[in-house]
C-alpha cells in the first residue's frame, strides 16, 4: 500500500480523491456540482478530483443531465471494467458463479453441473471463472480476485479444510494455494454458511441487528455467528458445525434412529417428512407449500437443534436459512418461535428462566452463499482501488 505524509498537499489531494471515489460508489454517477455539494468542497476542487480520478482510469463520463442554465452537466461514474471478481458457490451437485465489480453490477448467474465432471480445486474454480466471464461478456484478464464458498470448515491461517464430504478431489491442505497458482488471482476461501450470514447482514432481515445467529438447514446443517458485524469462525474455522453434534436423549421421541443433528434435520430426514423419501432435498421441498402439515414436525426438530445454540450464545435473533429454512419461510419461523417461547427448564432452580429470542426467516433467498461472496468481493475490490489512489 502506497502512503503519503499526513498534512502535505499530496496527502490532502489523496484524501479528497478517495472521498470523491467513495461518494461515487455510494451515490452512483454524479456531476461536478453534486460531488462538490456532497463532499463539502468547492466546485473547482470537485472538478480537480474528477479530473485526477479520470486520469488514473477509475471513473469515466456516463452521460449528461440538463442544467437549469447554461450547458448540460456531465456526470461521472466508477468504471466497472478496471477490476472484477468472480463469486463462486461450490455445492454438492452444482457450482454457481457470477462476475461482480466495484459497484456490484447485476450480472447473470451461471450454474455448472458436477455430475461426471473432473474434480479438483483448480478445475472447479477455473471452470466457474470462465463460465462467469463468458456469461457477463467480460474478459477474464479483468478478474483479479475470486471468493469461494465451500461446504467445509475453512482454516484460513493454515489453508486447511475439514468436513469435506461434498468436495471430492479437494485436498485437506493447500486448496487455496493450488487455486492461486493455477489462476494467478487472489483467492478468498470461506465456509458457505458464513458467507450466507454475511449476505443476511448486508442485504437481509438482520441489517440493523447488533448480533444474530444464522442457522442453515439444507442437505447438511451449519451455524453462522455474527457478533457486532463480525463472523466468528473459531480457532480452526470449525465454529458452527452443529450437524456433527450428537442429539440429546429427548430426540428419541422424534426420531429414535437419529445419532446426530444431521440425521434429525438434514436433507434425507426432511425429504422423508415431506413424503419423498430418498429424493434430493430441493425436489422434496418443491412438493409442498408453507402450509403443509409436515412443517410442524420440522419445527419440533429445529427447536431441538436450536437448544444448544441458545444455551451457549443467547442470541437476540436466529435466522432460519438454507433450502429448508427458505422453503418454510415465515410459517416455519412462526412455528419454531412458538416452541422456543414455550421452553420450560426442568430443574426447579431455573424456574422463570426463558429465552427471549426472535426467530426469523432468511430474506436473501436461494443464492445467499453467492450473495455473501459478492459482498466480500465488492469490499475487497473497493479497498484495492482506493489504495491505488495516490494523487501526484
Q: How does pLDDT run across 22-65, given as a tens digit for each residue?
A: 999 999 999 999 999 999 999 899 999 999 999 999 999 999 88
Q: What number is the average pLDDT over the span 278-298?
A: 93
Q: What number is the average pLDDT over the span 329-354?
A: 78
Residue 338 CB neighbour total at 10 angstroms: 13
- Look at residue 71 in the predicted model and tell me its pLDDT: 77
Average pLDDT, the chain: 92
Helix (H, G, I), strand (E, B) or coil at 73: strand
Q: Quick check: 33 and 70 in contact, CB under 8 A?
A: no
167-176, 250-259, 279-288, 339-348: lowest mean pLDDT where?
Answer: 339-348
- Look at residue 7 in the predicted model and tell me its pLDDT: 65
pLDDT for 130-188, tens place per residue? 999 999 999 999 999 999 999 999 999 999 999 998 899 999 999 999 999 999 999 99
DSSP state of 341: H
d(CA 271, CA 277): 5
pTM over 0.75: yes
- Cell 478431489: give the residue: 169
Domains in the chain and their CATH numbers? 9-79 (1.10.10.10), 84-193+370-386 (3.30.420.40), 205-363 (3.30.420.40)
Phi, psi of 120 (to 5 degrees): -165, 160
271 dihedral zone (left: phi>0; alpha: psi -120 to 50; beta): alpha
pLDDT for 202-233, tens place per residue? 999 999 999 999 999 999 999 999 999 999 99
Confidence of residue 266 (pLDDT cuts 50, 70, 90): very high
d(CA 106, CA 308): 39
Amino acid at each position: 500500500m502506497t502512503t503519503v505524509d499526513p498534512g502535505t498537499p499530496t496527502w490532502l489531494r489523496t484524501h479528497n480523491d478517495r472521498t470523491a471515489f467513495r461518494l461515487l460508489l455510494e451515490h452512483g454517477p454524479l456531476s461536478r456540482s453534486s460531488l462538490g455539494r456532497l463532499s463539502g468542497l468547492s466546485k473547482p476542487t470537485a472538478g480537480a478530483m474528477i479530473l485526477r480520478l479520470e486520469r488514473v482510469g477509475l471513473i469515466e463520463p456516463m452521460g449528461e443531465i440538463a442544467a437549469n442554465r447554461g450547458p448540460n452537466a456531465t456526470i461521472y461514474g466508477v468504471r466497472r471494467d478496471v477490476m472484477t471478481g468472480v463469486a463462486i458457490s461450490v455445492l454438492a451437485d452444482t457450482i454457481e458463479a457470477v462476475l461482480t465489480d466495484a459497484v456490484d453490477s447485476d450480472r447473470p448467474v451461471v450454474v455448472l453441473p458436477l455430475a461426471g465432471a473432473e474434480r479438483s480445486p483448480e478445475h472447479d474454480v477455473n471452470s466457474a471463472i470462465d463460465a462467469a466471464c463468458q456469461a457477463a461478456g467480460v474478459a477474464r484478464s479483468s478478474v483479479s480476485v475470486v471468493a469461494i464458498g465451500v461446504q467445509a470448515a475453512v482454516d484460513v491461517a493454515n489453508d486447511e479444510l475439514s468436513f469435506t464430504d461434498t468436495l471430492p478431489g479437494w485436498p485437506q491442505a493447500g486448496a487455496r494455494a493450488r487455486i492461486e497458482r493455477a489462476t494467478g488471482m487472489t483467492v478468498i476461501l470461506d465456509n458457505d454458511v458464513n458467507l450466507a450470514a454475511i449476505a443476511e447482514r448486508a442485504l437481509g432481515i438482520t441489517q440493523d441487528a447488533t448480533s444474530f445467529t444464522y442457522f442453515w438447514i439444507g442437505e447438511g446443517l451449519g451455524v453462522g455467528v455474527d457478533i457486532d458485524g463480525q463472523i466468528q469462525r473459531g480457532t480452526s474455522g470449525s465454529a458452527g458445525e452443529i450437524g456433527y453434534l450428537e442429539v440429546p436423549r429427548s430426540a428419541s421421541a422424534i426420531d429414535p434412529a437419529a445419532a446426530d443433528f444431521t440425521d434429525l434435520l438434514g436433507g434425507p430426514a426432511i425429504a422423508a417428512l415431506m413424503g419423498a423419501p430418498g429424493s434430493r432435498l430441493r425436489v422434496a421441498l418443491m412438493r409442498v407449500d408453507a402450509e403443509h402439515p409436515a412443517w410442524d414436525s420440522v419445527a419440533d426438530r429445529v427447536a431441538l437443534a436450536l437448544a444448544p445454540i441458545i444455551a451457549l450464545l443467547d442470541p437476540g435473533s436466529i435466522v432460519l436459512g438454507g433450502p429448508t429454512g427458505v422453503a418454510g419461510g415465515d410459517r416455519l419461523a412462526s412455528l419454531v418461535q412458538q416452541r422456543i417461547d414455550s421452553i420450560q427448564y426442568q430443574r426447579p432452580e431455573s424456574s422463570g428462566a426463558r429465552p427471549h429470542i426472535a426467530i426469523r426467516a432468511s430474506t436473501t433467498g436461494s443464492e445467499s452463499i453467492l450473495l455473501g461472496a459478492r459482498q466480500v468481493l465488492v469490499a475487497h475490490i473497493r479497498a484495492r482501488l482506493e489504495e491505488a489512489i495516490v494523487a501526484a
